[in-house]
Chain A
Amino acid sequence: MRDDPLTIAGKIFPSRLLLGSGGYPNRQVLLDALREGAPAMVTVAIRRISLEAYAESLIDVLAGYVLLPNTAGCASVRDARLTAELGREALGTDWVKLELIGDRETQYPDIELLLKATDELVRAGFTVLPYANDDPVSCRKLADLGAAAVMPLGSPIGTGLGIINPYAIARIVATCPVPVILDAGIGTASDAAQAMELGCAGVLLNSAVAGAEDPPRMARAMRLAVEAGYCAHRAGRIPKRTQAEPSSPQLGLVGGG
């Protein structure tokens, strides 16, 4: 039984779980959670941290993990470009999770800016993973512009509401030529498993682990859920029926009439 590993832009990852690095009770809990979650990548908010690798800085203690810089806090294409360049300089990677938020209350992406920035950053040589709406059309357009993966939201960031439109996520998976990473809204392990059952290539989450009472244990739960959901999707679920059908035969029983 062979599992195909997650592959984005030709790079192979041993896990399909991506974790954020913010909002943990403390740095040690973050490190313990990462150890349990064993994520493919760890996202870091370039504008929220110091990029100098002084002793005990975030960059310093995360040495050994694949870091994915994000553009959290950016509101314009120019900001996003500058932030991506800062991330490239500081972390030595041209990968960037592109976040351009268009609305403070819902934290929904601004699709118009996102398309422009994706186009510009791809042309500038970046490997771009845009954080997008759960909208098959925008996700398809992002892929067409050269995004290496698309990251539609399950529900608004930080809500823990899970996947509020599973139909849309399934459509995105069906229509997008690049890997689909479900990003934002995961509340617990079943949400992550559901994302994978819908056919997503991976799941990115942060608050569900960072805010849990026992973050390392929740990180482990997420790792197992992502793997379980992936296997279930690959295995293929049975069709749903309305009538019960026992799995053992009812005819020809010993002593039967």
Chain B
Amino acid sequence: MSAPMTRGRVAIIGGGIIGLAIGWRLAQAGVAVEIFERGEAGRGASFAAAGMLAAGVESEPGEAALCALTRHGQALWPAFAAALEAASGIAVGLREEGTIEIALTRDDAARLRHSFDFQRRQGVALEWLNAAEARAREPQLGPQLAGAVFSPHDHQVDNRRVVIALRAAFLAAGGRLHERDEVALAVENDRAIGVRRGDGTLHEADRVVLAAGAWSAAVAGLPACARPAVRPIKGQMLALTMNPAAPLLRHVLWTPRVYLVPRGDGRLIIGATTEERGFDASLTAGGILSLLEGAWRAMPAIEELPIAETWVGFRPGSRDDAPLLGPSAVAGLVLATGHHRNGILLAPITAELITRHLIEGVIDPAMAPFLPDRFAAQPAAPAA
């Protein structure tokens, strides 16, 4: 397994929230760390996300290991946000009103009750609300309401502020950031020796961390054995503008089709489609329609609000929706990718686990279920 490394150099491919968080923690620990980002740091999925820290209402049957990681990750967020704000001087907008998930019809209510029962069995603290109780918490909910669940620990953070703060904290701690520099992995004798930069020069490193999100599998120079099973999953989103003095919504709201996330500055984020379309970055009429219609059915009052922005992001989806964390089939190459819809939520725990692995050479028990080799043993389909 990997030898402990106290003074080695680390190169990180990818300057999204995962690369920046790992870089910041490494730089804080005194490691010489450089981040190589093909575009602008924090401008990919990290910027497109909604910033929900929803370990509770997102837990699904069959994802017990992921659920344990997301709940562990959620618990780290308050301290992580405080440390980041102190290091960067930038407020990251952690809001702690919790999440409400609503049912609009009897069928929705049956489905919501089904997941409520499952999540409660997993030990998630949840409260069932009837329509009147839900409306007491969020008076702008529409007339059609068949029940709701309140999740007191599923909060939100302003992910755009988080990546801006991480960038500042990383640089302040002594890390070096190279933007608009698309690099290839450099491998020699089956070992990662650094990254090959756009201008052809070799940047040597003792360890390379692959944290390139949806683009991870496409990084040049990756041997096939180390290519992560990660694909882009397209999401269309939009933001409306509320009056910040009298916002329509205070909690994060999950409806049967969309979620709504109210920011402190009045932005109301509505997301997101889930599309298997490769890197197709087009906004579509159907996509925007489904977002607006889904939001409007839950809160008709949104029809008065101006549209501030529309955008597309690419979640880095792995086969089992769980991240790929830890050593790969190539010595010296460590993966931290495939976070799917949990990249913001899992950034602190990922930074902690990967940093410990790089510095102390340990594989934390919390990381063991997410080692990248878990897909290697099983082919996708039987040979026909």
Contact = CB atoms under 8 A, between A and B. Distances in A.
Given A48-B276, A56-B231, A26 B319 contact: yes
> Which of B217, B231, B277, B383 has the most CB atoms of chain A within a 10 A radius of its CB?
B231
Given A56-B229, A58-B276, A25 B321 contact: yes
B321 A57 contact: no
Interface stretch (B60-68, B80-88, B194-202, B362-370): B60-68
B380 A62 contact: yes
B277 A27 contact: no
B276 A65 contact: no
Contact of B62 (A48, A55, A57, A214): A214
A214 B276 contact: no
A158 to B, nearest CB: 9
A213 B111 CA distance: 12
A49 B383 CA distance: 23
Interface string B348-378: 0000000000000000000000000001001
Contacts of A48: 275-276
B384 A54 contact: no
Contacts of B147: none
A192 B289 CA distance: 36
Q: How large is the interface on A (under 10, 10 to 19, 20 to 34, 35 or more residues)?
A: 20 to 34
Contact of B380 (A29, A50, A64, A215): A64
Interface in B303-323: 317-322
A27 B378 CA distance: 13
Contacts of B317: 27, 56
Chain A interface, >50% SS class: loop
Nearest to A55: B217
A253 interface: no
Q: How large is the interface on B (under 10, 10 to 19, 20 to 34, 35 or more residues)?
A: 20 to 34
Contact of A63 (B231, B278, B381): B381
B381 A27 contact: no
A28 B276 contact: no
Contacts of A123: none
B276 A57 contact: yes
A54 B379 CA distance: 16
Nearest to A24: B62
A215 to B, nearest CB: 7
Contacts of B378: 31
Contact of A50 (B63, B277, B382, B384): B277
A234 interface: no
Contacts of A65: 381, 384
A186 to B, nearest CB: 17
Nearest to A212: B61
B227 interface: yes
Contacts of B217: 55-56
A61 B322 CA distance: 17
A49 B278 CA distance: 9
Interface of A: 25-29, 31, 34-35, 48-50, 52, 54-58, 60-66, 212-215
